[in-house]
């Protein structure tokens, strides 16, 4: 009978109270509600509406603090702990209950399970024994809440959450609810399920899905000398009166490095596409 009650907003009849709690019944089941949640105490025989669940002490509880997640309702929740033989615990906003996403619904590889502070979009489901479990949102659900990306997002940095892990790549959704895909070639290691990622838009598909990379831009991994030249360009209206033909003395005086160091650093910038060399000058690329 609990199977049709738990994880839902229900209305029960108040039957009793003590110093701290109100007790109400529905379909023969008794639920406790802390008086601290109620602005006005109900009378015996009146009705009380709230979210029904079983707390961590396995007592039935009816709360007025309704979580966004429920049966057929999905919302983001942070992972608070992991138990290898059970699953991961997600905070959905209940005062004394974290919801478990079963290990049966998680990847076989433990190293890509969610960790503390990762995010999962979950609803609730009840098993045959009347126990509440977290229910991961499906691909279809993510498609339903997503919006198409536009061309202005090209080369932008975006925050996203990994929601589906496949051999062909990682599916993510950005904080603005654009869907994205990360090919294995665009990452150093496979993200965890629920991991919050900093990614870069490298392409936009016709259907509005983003192609993303977790690898830094080429100039972001260049050395200090190249970073110095790049900074000098940015502070000189995007042009410097230097090139790989400049004299060692001029380079040493302006940059404080040898001509060999200068040429290597400049080469990195040119290869990364961050700058170009024309007519004896260096220009900053947009």
pLDDT tens digits, 175-230:
999 999 999 999 989 999 999 999 999 999 999 999 999 987 665 666 788 888 98
- What is the rounded distance in angstroms from the CA atom of residue 8 to the CA atom of residue 66? 9
pLDDT tens digits, 33-61:
999 999 999 999 999 999 999 999 889 99
The fold of the 219-284 domain, in CATH, is Arc Repressor Mutant, subunit A (1.10.10)
Domain boundaries, the chain: 2-63, 75-137, 141-213, 219-284
Sign of the alpha-carbon torsion through 98, 113, 215, 206: negative
Rounded to the nearest integer, the mean pLDDT of the chain is 92
Calculate mean pLDDT across residues 1-29: 90
Most trustworthy range by pLDDT among 64-68, 160-164, 167-171: 160-164
Burial class (CB in 10 A: 0-12, 13-18, 19+), 38: middle
Describe the crossing of helices 224-234 and 248-255 by its angle, rounded to 10 degrees. Answer: 80
- Farthest-apart Cα atoms in the chain, separation: 94
In CATH, the number for domain 141-213 is 2.40.50.140
So what's the pLDDT on residue 161?
98
Report helix, strand or coil for 27: coil
Question: Which H/E stretch holds residue 266?
Answer: helix 259-272
Q: Does 1 have pLDDT greater than 60? A: no
Describe the crossing of helices 259-272 and 224-234 by its angle, rounded to 10 degrees. Answer: 70
Percent of the chain at pLDDT > 90 equals 78
Cα-flanking dihedrals φ and ψ of residue 122, to 5°? -130, 150
The CATH class, in words, for 2-63 is: mainly beta
Q: Which token pair is 207?
A: 């259907």
* Kind of pairing between the strands at 179-182 and 210-213: parallel
The CATH class, in words, for 75-137 is: mainly beta
Describe the crossing of helices 259-272 and 248-255 by its angle, rounded to 10 degrees. Answer: 80
- What is the rounded distance in angstroms from the CA atom of residue 91 to the CA atom of residue 76? 9
Sign of the alpha-carbon torsion through 17, 23, 24, 27: negative
CA angle (49, 55, 57) in 5-degree steps: 140
Domains 75-137 and 141-213 share a fold: yes
Report helix, strand or coil for 137: coil
């Amino acid at each position: 009978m609990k199977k049709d009650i738990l994880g839902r907003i229900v209305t029960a009849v108040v039957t009793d109270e003590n110093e701290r709690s109100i007790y109400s019944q529905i379909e023969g089941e008794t639920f406790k509600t802390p008086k601290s949640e109620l602005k006005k105490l109900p009378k015996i025989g009146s009705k009380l509406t709230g979210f029904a669940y079983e707390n961590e002490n396995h007592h039935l509880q009816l709360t007025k603090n309704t979580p966004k997640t429920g049966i057929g309702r999905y919302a983001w929740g942070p992972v608070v702990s992991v138990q290898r033989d059970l699953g991961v615990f997600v905070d959905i906003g209940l005062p004394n209950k974290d919801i478990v996403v079963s290990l049966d619904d998680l990847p076989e590889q433990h190293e890509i399970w969610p960790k503390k502070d990762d995010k999962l979009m979950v609803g609730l489901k009840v098993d045959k024994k009347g126990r509440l479990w977290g229910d991961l949102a499906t691909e279809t659900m993510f498609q339903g809440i997503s919006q198409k990306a536009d061309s202005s997002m090209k080369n932008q940095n975006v925050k996203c959450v990994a929601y589906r892990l496949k051999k062909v790549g990682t599916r993510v959704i950005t904080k603005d609810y654009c869907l994205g895909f990360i090919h294995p070639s665009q990452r150093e290691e496979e993200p965890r399920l629920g991991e919050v990622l900093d990614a870069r838009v490298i392409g936009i598909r016709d259907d509005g899905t983003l192609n993303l990379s977790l690898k830094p831009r080429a100039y972001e991994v260049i050395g200090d000398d190249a970073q110095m030249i790049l900074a000098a360009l940015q502070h000189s209206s995007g042009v410097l009166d230097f090139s790989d033909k400049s004299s060692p003395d001029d380079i040493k005086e302006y940059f404080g490095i040898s001509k060999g160091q200068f040429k290597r650093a400049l080469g990195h910038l040119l290869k990364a596409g961050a700058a170009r060399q024309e007519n004896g000058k260096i220009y900053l690329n947009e």
